[in-house]
Amino acid sequence: MQKTSLVIVLDDIRSALNVGAIFRTADAVGAKELILCGITPYPPHPRIPKTALGATESVAWKHWPNKTEAIQHLKEQGYNIIAVEKTEKAQDLYKYKFPENTALIFGNEINGVSTDIIEKAESVLQIPMLGIKESLNVATTVGIVSYEYIRQQNYQ
């Protein structure tokens, strides 16, 4: 399996089913690592396998109870911290040029990426929303943004 330099970080995700689906996406995009922060469920949680379908075995992952320490570690490793959240200063996903060493941060299903993490991010991105709803399911969002990253890294 070809690995990218992409790291996916989950900031206090509540649903183990979303986490399982994100494991599958991380596998599909060849993510280097999946970092599960705070209250985010992590293996061997019994509900993750239902949607992960074995991806917990093919994706490197780590649980970090303290998300600030996880972000600091990634910065020390040379990663560009990019939060995916709808804010006034967020850039359009499709107008952004991803650096190679990217750590994408995705937040809680209700509250989004925490403010303290947004403040530590080099950039904040949002997916253009054309309908009346203002957000997507976090697992769907991870798929859209991660595939845009690999499209830019591999197909331009």
Domain harbouring 66, CATH code = 3.40.1280.10
> Is 1 part of a structural domain of the chain?
no
Q: Please, which pLDDT band fits residue 156 given cuts at 50, 70 and 90?
A: low
Residue pLDDT, tens place only, 73-103: 999 999 999 999 999 999 999 999 999 999 9
Q: How many domains does the chain have?
A: 1
pLDDT for 142 beyond 90:
yes
> Is 2 part of a structural domain of the chain?
no
Q: What is the mean pLDDT of residues 115-138?
A: 94
> Is 63 part of a structural domain of the chain?
yes
Share of the chain above pLDDT 90, in %: 93
Distance in angstroms (rounded) separating the CA atoms of residues 116 and 66: 12
Among left, alpha and beta (phi > 0; psi -120 to 50; other), residue 27 is: alpha
> Is 69 part of a structural domain of the chain?
yes
The whole model's pTM is what? 0.96
pLDDT for 143 beyond 80:
yes
Domain extent, residue 48, equals 7-154
pLDDT for 28 beyond 90:
yes
Q: Please, which pLDDT band fits residue 3 given cuts at 50, 70 and 90?
A: confident
> Is 12 part of a structural domain of the chain?
yes
Q: Please, which pLDDT band fits residue 41 given cuts at 50, 70 and 90?
A: very high
Instruction: Lay out the sheet containing 61-64: strands in order across.
Output: 61-64, 33-37, 7-11, 102-107, 80-84, 123-126, 91-92
Judge whether 128 and 92 are in contact, CB under 8 Å.
Answer: yes
pLDDT of res. 1: 58
> Is 64 part of a structural domain of the chain?
yes
> Is 137 part of a structural domain of the chain?
yes
pLDDT of res. 154: 85
> Is 85 part of a structural domain of the chain?
yes
